[in-house]
Each structure stands twice: as structure tokens, then as C-alpha cells.
Amino acid sequence: MSQTLKIEIDESADPLNHFMNKSAKDLTDEDVDNIIKTLRAYRHTYSEAPKTAKEQKAAATTASGEKPARKPRGPSKTKVDMTDDIAKAIMAELLGVGEMSPEEE
């Protein structure tokens, strides 16, 4: 049994729209505080939403309480993407994959 978890975001119910309809002149300091609160909550809402098919599948599994049967593993059919490998090599050579900004390390 499979179950698909579908998440829809109703844009019209988005509390940010209440503020977006205001002009700069009508915007109060309280509105600005509430925009910050709303957006911080908004990010949380989005960060909880499954983004990838894998994440959606994992969420569906949790919702149904069943673990889907695992497909038997066969020989890898993954093709070697030479373009991707070359790109990686160039990045490593010239850009340095390790040269990420400190917060990414």
C-alpha cells in the first residue's frame, strides 16, 4: 500500500498577504514586528514541507505507519556522467571544493 502525502499551500490564507496589501505610509512599527514574526514562522512551515520525492516518500511512510518493501538491489545502473566528473575535477583544481565559506564547512 502506498500513500502520497500532498501538501498544498493556500497563498490566499498566507498571513503575509495582510501586510503586503498595506502601503509604506500605512505600515506601523507593530506591523513590521508582526511581519518578522510571520516570516520566521513562514520559514518554519516551509522547512517542514517535504521537498524531494525521497522526503515525500519518507513522510508518507510515517503517515501510514508502514514501511514500504525495499526493492532488491541489483547491479548499479547509474551511468557515469563524464561532464559532471570533469566539472568536479575543474572545480577541485581551480576553485577548490574545500574552499567553501567557513559556515559551510
Partner 1 sequence: MTSHFSSIIPYLQIAWDSTTIAAFKRCPRYYQLSFIENWQPKGGAVALEFGIYFHSLTELFEKLIAKGLSHDDALKEVIKKCFTIKSVWNPSDPLRNARSLLLTVFFYIENWRLSKIKTFYLKNGQPAVELSFRLALGKPYLSSDEEVIICGHMDRLVTIDDSIYVADKKTTGHGITRFFYLNYLLNDQVTLYYIAAQVVLAIPAKGILIDAASIDGKIGKFDRQIVHRSIALAEEWLEDLTYWLRYAETCAKAQHWPKNENSCSMYGGCVFRSVCTQTKKCSPKILNRDFEKREQWNPLKER
Burial of 5: CB neighbours in 10 Å, binned 0-12, 13-18, 19+: middle
Please state, in angstroms and rounded to a whole number, the distance separating the CA atoms of residues 63 and 71.
Answer: 20
Q: Which stretch binds partner 1 (CB under 8 A): 52-60, 62-70, 73-81, 96-104?
A: 96-104
Is residue 89 at the binding interface for partner 1, with CB under 8 A as the rule? no
71 is a site residue for partner 1 (CB under 8 A): no
Q: How far apart are the first and last CA of the chain?
A: 41
Residues contributing to the site for partner 1 (CB under 8 A):
16, 20, 22-24, 27, 29, 32-33, 35-36, 39-40, 42-43, 46, 87-88, 90-91, 94-96, 99-104
